[in-house]
Amino acid sequence: MKIAFFDAKPYDIEAFEEPAKNAGIKLKFYETKLNSDTVRLASGCEGVCVFVNDEVNAEVIDGLCELGVKTIALRCAGYNNVDIKHAYNKIHVVRVPAYSPYAVAEHAMAMLLTSIRRIHKAYIRTRDYNFSLNGLTGFDLHGKTVGVVGTGKIGKVFINICKGFGMNVICYDKFPSEIEGAKYVSLDEILSESDIISLHCPLTKETMHMIDGNAIEKMKKGVAIINTSRGALIDAEALLEGIKSRKVGAACLDVYEEESDIFFEDRSGHIIDDDVLARLISMPNVIVTSHQAFLTREALSNIAQTTVDNLIELEKNGSAQNELCYRCGKVDDCKKKSGEKCF
């Protein structure tokens, strides 16, 4: 099996080479992202492997089908960059639903602690032998209320971390599950009662810009907002206004709405055309990391092995446990059963 691997980084190549070789899969690595201009690079391949900022829209899907590509293998959990509905009955789409919830949840907490205890500022100061403590006053997490939006695997791990700090945990999810030590409330209650809000939900039409100007207006003054999920959950311009008005006391962002042409690349020495991102980064109470939360050795290993397993399962059975289908759970007359093909 030959797979065109797009948006390949050195850490991807290192993680994927051995499990792919062991499974008899030949990977053709491309640094470029998949889009309508690069789709021809998949010629002669049975599948493509893509990441969060590859464009897998209807035009690209049609282009892949014309080339005889049978599978789109996402090496991530989110799939908002894939036109799942257009893919149906044309090309199979698989993903990695869970790779290391600990990696993302721990990164979210690391960003929060760095921000509220001013660790990033102290690090820069002491390297210049400036040992003043002025301007470094933070606050305790113990006893604070954290609102967790999304209680899937990552959200639950983050909740457990927060409980370890002695925080009061409230949460919101469209599909609540029983979580010891956490209380489900409405989204409005999350916004109005939380000292810290952490987003751990997927990007859908319903969650697009769920944190906008109206939502920020309902929040406590000085609220800290963490986003390690998808950038478009937050209206970046509204967030910037919230920071300028002092309504938002801290923002910890591992994702950004317009990140696709900026993140994952070295832009030092270049002028950033995105004025909103440039202004956010310039704010003293904003920490931005470039979609780094997933990046641990354990997560990369799990992502690589699950992706390879998905490809082998599809080739062997014509279906896979981690296959995505827009019909699943939405079409009353769908006759598909577990283990059966979607098409």
Q: Which residues are identified as catalytic? A: 230, 259, 291
| Token pair listed for 231 | 């950038």
Element housing 163 (H / E): helix 153-164
- How is residue 269 annotated by DSSP? T
| Sequence-ordered strand ranges (E) for 212-294 | 223-227, 248-253, 286-288
Strands of 248-253's sheet, edge to edge?
A: 182-184, 168-172, 145-149, 196-199, 223-227, 248-253, 286-288
Residue 319 · residue 341 · CB < 8 Å: yes
- Start-to-end CA span in the chain (Å): 21
Query: What angle separates helix 153-164 from helix 101-116, to the nearest 10 degrees?
Result: 40
Phi, psi for residue 286 in degrees, rounded to 5:
-120, 130
- The closest of 155, 161, 160 to 190, measured between CA atoms, is 155
